[in-house]
A and B are shown apart, each in its own frame.
Chain A
């Protein structure tokens, strides 16, 4: 009996391990978008995995593992964010400059402008537009990750993208877009 239980346990952790590995790319993508910093993002992911592993018992089998991991990651990010904020305010673009610029950037909005503008958003709006706009979560799923109401999530997404548009409107690349669209 005991042996059987142990066997069960081993099987469970190895399948959870496989699921966690599968979730790593989206966790990293979320962390980079959220923090604007590739190195910091990987530290966030690392801490998330360690936390998740030590709290496996609180994960409900059969529910969405990556949503659970996203929730842990944002908690880690916010507790660090509050700490950092007390220390030094992040200077604009300092983080962005550390990110490798994707090869596909040409006449689009300037990458550094965009990353810097993202970091100027209030973090709740930033995470909202990442979860809904890039991770492909539904408003309901994103609201669950952030433990807020669906309506709150929708309003964060709206305010976030409007604010982002305002911030970017003055960038040279956006001026070009405006000129084209006009």
Chain B
């Protein structure tokens, strides 16, 4: 059909992961598998990171900063 209009390969930069995912419907299988693994890696990285990011700040750090702040000057 109108193949000219369709880019053979679309590069999509996954902004959050900084990982560039190459998408192509007709790429060899290995490449599709590789990009799927890269997507999973990005997701996994953020899962570990965000899990900690969303935890409340442990008391020990609030106490520590309080101590540092009062001991200085």
Contact = CB atoms under 8 A, between A and B. Distances in A.
B10 interface: no
Contacts of B60: 42, 46
A115 B49 CA distance: 12
A38 B19 CA distance: 26
A125 B43 CA distance: 17
B65 A17 contact: yes
Given A21-B57, A165-B34, A108 B40 contact: yes
Interface residues of A, number: 53
A41 B73 CA distance: 29
Nearest to B32: A181
A103 to B, nearest CB: 9
Given A25-B54, A115-B48, A14 B43 contact: no
Interface residues of B, number: 38
Residue with the greatest number of chain A CB neighbours at <10 A, chosen from B18, B33, B69, B72: B18
B68 A28 contact: no
Interface of A: 6, 9-10, 13-14, 17, 20-21, 24-26, 28-30, 32-33, 38, 41-42, 45-46, 49-50, 53, 99, 102, 104-105, 108-109, 111, 114-115, 129-130, 132-136, 139, 157, 161, 164-165, 168-169, 174, 177-178, 180-182
Contacts of B58: 42
Contacts of B38: 161, 165
